[in-house]
Amino acid sequence: MVDEESLVSFVTGGGRLSAPDNVTPRYRAELMRLMAIFVDSEMAGASGFADCINLAPGLKERITATRIVLEKFNHARQVLELMEEFGANTGQYVGAHPWASRLDRSANLGQRRISGDMRLNVFHYPINGWVDAVVMNCLMGQATVVQLDELTRGSYQPLADTLSGILPVEKQHAELGQEGLQVALERGHDRTDAQASVNYWYPRVADTFGSSVSDHFDQHRKYGLRHKGRKELIAQWEGIVHPMLSRFGLGIPRHVSPEIGDQASLQ
């Protein structure tokens, strides 16, 4: 097995690892954490959005929502297969947590995990109606795109390749969220209600970019699994969603400091 010093030297020089036998125990732990966060978030996101299918106002929207759910479950499956190569017990994974469960709307978890569930905390909060769902999809969909794009440059080639295939589909999910919000507003949905949804989800999605001070990020950068920190990633996200919200006539809410209540995403 490769030693730690050789691995760090290899990935620092731009090398990419291709199989479980090529990694050290520490690298494996950080890689598995990243994959678990992705899988748990896709499982929880799909399960929660499945409950919104019948909230959609028309057949077209219900078909679109169903497709998003299907594709997110498929994304979880693809990365779960990579985890299986490292010995993860994938057979029991689906039943590991109540993926569709949600907390009270007023909850704020901060960094706390729930029973080993690695989902992003944004997927513990409940959705309140169809427009709330599409607003959440607009904001979190673009956060997912930014975060996945970063991971496609990671040093574990099989994961980078898998996420490169997933990324275009997630981009389409984010675009479908924008279309859904535009249609709802054009049909006369109360803009004040839509703004309330933006105010609720914006800080919770912003928290998914994690803390700017993170031991996990330092390890990820050392191993070439990530390169950009919270500040750079959230600036990318804001550069996308701020103009989008302006186009819809919606304001950008003031949110808590990045260091207060931060929750690990790619941490």
> What's the rounded Cα separation, in Å, for the pair 208 and 204?
7
Please report how the helices 25-50 and 215-222 are oriented relative to each other, as an axis angle in degrees rounded to 10.
120
pLDDT in tens, the chain (267 residues): 688 999 999 999 999 999 999 999 999 999 999 999 999 999 999 999 999 999 999 999 999 999 999 999 999 999 999 999 999 888 888 888 899 999 999 998 866 677 778 999 999 999 999 999 999 999 999 999 999 999 999 999 999 999 999 999 999 999 999 999 999 999 999 999 999 999 999 999 998 998 766 678 889 999 999 999 889 999 999 999 999 999 999 999 976 444 433 333 443
Q: How far is CA 104 from CA 55, 108, 148, 170, 265, in A?
A: 19, 9, 28, 27, 21
For the chain, the maximum distance between any two Cα atoms, rounded to a whole number of angstroms, is 62
CA within 13 Å, CB half, 225:
22
Task: Catalogue all structural domains in the chain, each as residue range(s) with its CATH number.
Answer: 23-102+116-247 (1.20.1260.10)
Would the CA dihedral through 148, 64, 186, 48 be positive or negative?
A: negative
| pLDDT in the model for residue 93 | 81
Predicted model pTM: 0.91
* Residues near 159 by beta carbon (within 8 Å), at least 6 away in sequence: 31, 34, 35, 79, 82, 151
> What's the rounded Cα separation, in Å, for the pair 129 and 132?
5
